[in-house]
Structure 1
Amino acid sequence: MHHLPLKLAALLASAAAVSCQNYAQLAKQLSNTAQIYQPGTAAFNAAVLRWSNYSTPVANVVVVPGTENDVVQTVKFANQHSLPFLATNGVHGSITTLGKMTRGIEIHMSQLNSIVVAQDGSTATIGGGVMSKNLTDALWAVGKQTVTGTCECVGYMGPGLGGGHGWLQGRHGLVSDQYVSLNVVLANGSLITVNEHSELFWAMKGAGHNFGIVTSVTSQIYDIQHPNYAMETLIFSGSKVEAVYALANQQWLTNGATMPVDLINWSYWYFDPTTDAEKPVIAMYLIQEGVNKVDAAHTNPFLKLGPISTESVSGTYRDLAAWTGISLSDTPCQKTGNANPRFPIYLKSYNPIAQGLVYELFREATTAANSPFGHALFMFEGYSQQGVKAIGQDATAFAYREDNLLVAPLLTYAPNGPATDAIASALGNTIRQILFQGSGETSLNTYVNYAYGDETPAAWYGSDQWRQNRLSALKEDFDPAGQFSFYAPIRS
């Protein structure tokens, strides 16, 4: 007879004991609005379904808190039964470290979705389960707005804990730069308020996934100053890749040039055989606030390069997600069963030669016969940076305020076993390495919210030793057992 190791046997026995009592003990401690979903139910299946179906966390039960105290009680229950736990909301994090959760409790934050605007109109208190679009719409209805993630179907808190880029960051800074205070449930189940007087405040703004579950946050909000927006879309042949990005450098990124505060430049690469049957196209977006048509000073230089097509649209701030293909109804917001790994890198400017090299790799991957990556997308996000750079480089755990571009291939594919996963990993990392070498930087800077998972804490949180030391010390103080270590852990 084979005997299980004592530690494993104890864990299995604990899990079985919890299963047998059907979490009745926990249910007695929760509010009457909380819900517990068991495996095999439609509610459970919907709650654990993720946007990226690769290296996903595994839960034995889902708890949906109805109150802040429900989160406290769930964490305490998990600790009593030696169960891992993971808070979820928008489920767009695709980092492979999530796969290290192989059992335990998913704490689904969706019911903590209140939005309360302060009487003076300067702040709003936002539940930890609020989604970005819901916050935008609720604030818009009272003439207010704040920085949120750009994609409508992501949570508000998740991006912010990693810094959080958004359309309004040129005016106001990152999502996390708006935080005034946070209510946080720590690993030991205690509930604390974190603000400028707490040493944890610095860490929550950039490395917050490592320290607790945010049940609510009070953030700065602003009067709507520029409701109207315009966008010019220019579709280029891939043969013009070096020229397009050399021009982007010249316009906004080199020789003292900077992105105007009212302008955002995004671009996508994707294979669209109806436009070009042989190679991916470049979709260049020029987005300007406060106008009904993008200024010709921005569009004319690109028009001279000879795009395949152009399109002008005008509307309001709330149209931006649909214009850029990331609204609730667009493909990136659907849970299709695909794997969606990303391989992000921050850059200060484009290296046109490196752009040409990675374009060829992307072309081969998306157009080769029987390639699994035919629906891959390459994303280049160029936001205005004035609000981000106005805040001190050492003011928060977010380390990359001096970088101007967020670049990431998104290698969407249908999961087909370890061999395909390995090909995706090799391709994504090769692309990123070429961009890194072309940047001339000495450290790899990556956006933790897009991370693939094989990066290092130095890449996620900054390579300065003082940053690593400070985060490690805070981790030892607030989460010594490493219970918050499933998302880009400061230490493994």
Structure 2
Amino acid sequence: MVALKPILLAGLVHLHLHALRGLAWASSSPTPQQIVRDLQARLSPGSEIVLTSDPGYARDFTQRFAIATPPAYVVGVKPVAVSDVQAVVRYSASKNVPFLATGGGHGYTFSLGRLESGIELDMSNFHSIDIDPAANTLTVGGAVQIGNVTAALLAAGRELPVGQCATVGLTGLTMGGGVGPYGGIHGAASDSLLSAEFVTGTGDILNVSATRHADLFYGVKGAGFNYGVATRLTYRVYPLTNNGDVMVVNTQFPGPLNGSVWELASRFVGRQPKELTLDFSLRWNASSGGMVAWCSFYYVGPQAEGLRLIQPFLDLGPLNVEIHAARYDSISSVALYSAESVGTIRGISFVPYSVNLYAIDPPSLISLFNYMNATMTGRPDLQTATLAWAQFSTYGFQLFPVESSAFPYRDVAVFFQYDGFGFNASQIPALDKFGKNVRSLMRPGSGRTDLEVYVHFGHGDEGPAAWYSAAKLPRLNALKAVYDPKNLFSYYNPVQRGRYGH
């Protein structure tokens, strides 16, 4: 046999040792059954710990709304105390087992699909709601949903800026900033956050605020899911605007009028009243054989004032007009002809793409509309795709300095999103390809050279600079080194990519 050269022999030994280390790492990862046993020994007796293959998992645990690229769990854990959350975080760090905390079960970024063989940390037991009208504060558990909060606040004569979908978890919304109709008045949801009980990636339980761990508090308000799990949050709340009454006007415009709709919407940029929201949904209509524009207008003030503001839209001659007297907690139930219910269907495949618009360029939008209309004609697999348009006043967002929190986008004219709804898995590839093309057509008229996206609307391929802004990344990366040095929290549009070979 020909003798191996020393350098080649050394290389083979190196590769062999590397392979052995890989086998050792794999063998050190506990089986799902062992994870259950380990956590049963570490958590409070009232905590529920099951294999995801057990019937109890589907029955007792929060199931996801979006399933196009879901995280893959092998064990579900439902803790009853903050010390149990701490134990799960520490266990994950020591055993190389990934996990993700679940509140409402929303979140549709494709980055979640990188989590494999992990633990679902279901926060459902953290559902308390405590309102102090005298102090104008709201304290909630980490899994409280928006609809529960708005109903309780309305009964107490108070309000908080939140998103529109009632089933979204308030914690998740807040940790990404939190935009919605009342943002024009009070700013992002995170701007009203006063403090949070937080289990960090180092396994510590911290109470964070502007005066305690202020560096982390900055990160929690806009990028919080990168650093830990929020178990309790306290917010500043406000007396009801207009006694809680909201005018909602639903309209439908035929496709050929889309350019006129864009032109009128552009007139509000930089001068939109803080009480007014423009909420559009552009979708395929089988009856007309093409796209139509569903436009809803919310005005938190007297109906006569609201109608005067939107009269130019009404003068276009919409196909249909509905005027509703809604309340602070019921906007989503009537907006867009009650179409918000689509977003509350669990187990739907959802393909998102988004672009922040800082200007409204009617020619670009007309081209986009025409492209979608032509492409969807004769393509039933694409006809569930819609464009969502959320246009808020920037007044409330700009009450707070850019450096006050990790939330980066306070001057956005429109949060513009492609929503690819798939009712079976076979639609996903086509909807995904279509969405990429739509995003590429959105960008030229956005008013920015670089892609910028609200983190909760992200597809997952845009990157940290798009979600958090390049200017904020150095500070956010520095926080990771302190509060999550092992990158445990790295699956939801992360500041940094995670461990486990991803």
**TM-score under structure 2 length normalisation:** 0.90
The CA distance in 2 between the partners of 1:480 and 1:367, in whole Å, is 50
Residue 50 of structure 1: CA displacement?
1.8
The CA distance in 2 between the partners of 1:247 and 1:406, in whole Å, is 17
The CA distance in 2 between the partners of 1:49 and 1:469, in whole Å, is 35
Unaligned stretches of 5+ residues in structure 1: none
Q: Say if 2:349 and 2:422, in contact at 8 Å, map to a contact too.
A: yes
Q: Say if 2:48 and 2:79, in contact at 8 Å, map to a contact too.
A: yes
Q: Say if 1:293 and 1:313, in contact at 8 Å, map to a contact too.
A: no
* Structure 1 match to 2:365: 355
Question: Which of the two has higher C-alpha Rg?
Answer: 2
Matched, 1:126 2:126: no
The CA distance in 2 between the partners of 1:123 and 1:152, in whole Å, is 20
* Structure 2 match to 1:320: 331
The CA distance in 1 between the partners of 2:120 and 2:340, in whole Å, is 26
The CA distance in 1 between the partners of 2:82 and 2:151, in whole Å, is 24
* Structure 2 match to 1:78: 92
Equivalent residues in 2 for 1:20-419 (5 A)? 20-21=33-34, 23-45=36-58, 47=61, 49-118=63-132, 120-197=134-211, 198-226=214-242, 227-250=244-267, 252-253=268-269, 257-274=270-287, 276=288, 278-292=289-303, 295-324=306-335, 330-335=341-346, 337-369=347-379, 371-416=380-425
Residue 390 of structure 1: CA displacement?
1.2
The CA distance in 1 between the partners of 2:437 and 2:188, in whole Å, is 29
Residue 135 of structure 1: CA displacement?
1.0
The CA distance in 2 between the partners of 1:366 and 1:293, in whole Å, is 39
Aligned-residue Cα RMSD (Å) equals: 2.2
- After superposing the two structures, state which structure 1 stretch, 433-442 or 59-68, moved more: 433-442
Residue 163 of structure 1: CA displacement?
0.6
The CA distance in 1 between the partners of 2:115 and 2:447, in whole Å, is 37
Q: Say if 1:56 and 1:96, in contact at 8 Å, map to a contact too.
A: yes
Sort the Cα spacing of 1:368 and 1:63 in 2 relative to 1 into closer, same or farther, 3 A: same
* Structure 2 match to 1:474: 479
Q: Say if 1:57 and 1:98, in contact at 8 Å, map to a contact too.
A: yes
Matched residues, number:
477
Residue 212 of structure 1: CA displacement?
0.6
Q: Say if 2:86 and 2:205, in contact at 8 Å, map to a contact too.
A: yes
Residue 102 of structure 1: CA displacement?
0.6
The CA distance in 1 between the partners of 2:128 and 2:425, in whole Å, is 40
The CA distance in 2 between the partners of 1:399 and 1:326, in whole Å, is 32
Residue 188 of structure 1: CA displacement?
2.2
- After superposing the two structures, state which structure 1 stretch, 199-208 or 112-121, moved more: 112-121
Residue 415 of structure 1: CA displacement?
4.5
Give CA-to-partner distance per residue, 1:48-91, whole Å, 9 cap, x none.
63222112101110111111111011112222322111111222
The CA distance in 2 between the partners of 1:119 and 1:347, in whole Å, is 37
The CA distance in 2 between the partners of 1:185 and 1:268, in whole Å, is 38
Q: Say if 2:294 and 2:336, in contact at 8 Å, map to a contact too.
A: no
The CA distance in 1 between the partners of 2:133 and 2:366, in whole Å, is 53
Give CA-to-partner distance per residue, 1:278-304, whole Å, 9 cap, x none.
211101111111324563322321122
Q: Secondary structure at the match of 1:341?
A: strand
Give CA-to-partner distance per residue, 1:452-492, whole Å, 9 cap, x none.
0110111000133xx12111111112112211110111122
Sort the Cα spacing of 1:95 and 1:40 in 2 relative to 1 into closer, same or farther, 3 A: same
Sort the Cα spacing of 1:258 and 1:19 in 2 relative to 1 into closer, same or farther, 3 A: same
The CA distance in 1 between the partners of 2:337 and 2:354, in whole Å, is 18
Q: Secondary structure at the match of 2:351?
A: coil
Give CA-to-partner distance per residue, 1:157-202, whole Å, 9 cap, x none.
1111111112211221101001111111111211111111321111
Instruction: Give the letter for the 1:452 counterpart.
Output: H
* Structure 2 match to 1:425: 432
Percentage of pairs with the same residue: 27
Sort the Cα spacing of 1:243 and 1:344 in 2 relative to 1 into closer, same or farther, 3 A: same
Matched, 1:489 2:500: no
Sort the Cα spacing of 1:33 and 1:140 in 2 relative to 1 into closer, same or farther, 3 A: farther
The CA distance in 2 between the partners of 1:179 and 1:410, in whole Å, is 29
The CA distance in 2 between the partners of 1:196 and 1:280, in whole Å, is 48
Instruction: Give the letter for the 1:225 counterpart.
Output: T
Q: Say if 1:152 and 1:328, in contact at 8 Å, map to a contact too.
A: no
Q: Secondary structure at the match of 2:121?
A: strand
Q: Say if 1:293 and 1:312, in contact at 8 Å, map to a contact too.
A: no
The CA distance in 2 between the partners of 1:352 and 1:177, in whole Å, is 32
Give CA-to-partner distance per residue, 1:121-154, whole Å, 9 cap, x none.
3212111111111111122222222122210011
Residue 308 of structure 1: CA displacement?
1.4
Q: Say if 1:267 and 1:285, in contact at 8 Å, map to a contact too.
A: yes
Q: Secondary structure at the match of 1:402?
A: coil
Instruction: Give the letter for the 1:282 counterpart.
Output: A
Residue 325 of structure 1: CA displacement?
5.3
Sort the Cα spacing of 1:327 and 1:271 in 2 relative to 1 into closer, same or farther, 3 A: closer
Q: Which has the higher helix share?
A: 2
The CA distance in 2 between the partners of 1:136 and 1:448, in whole Å, is 23
Sort the Cα spacing of 1:424 and 1:315 in 2 relative to 1 into closer, same or farther, 3 A: closer
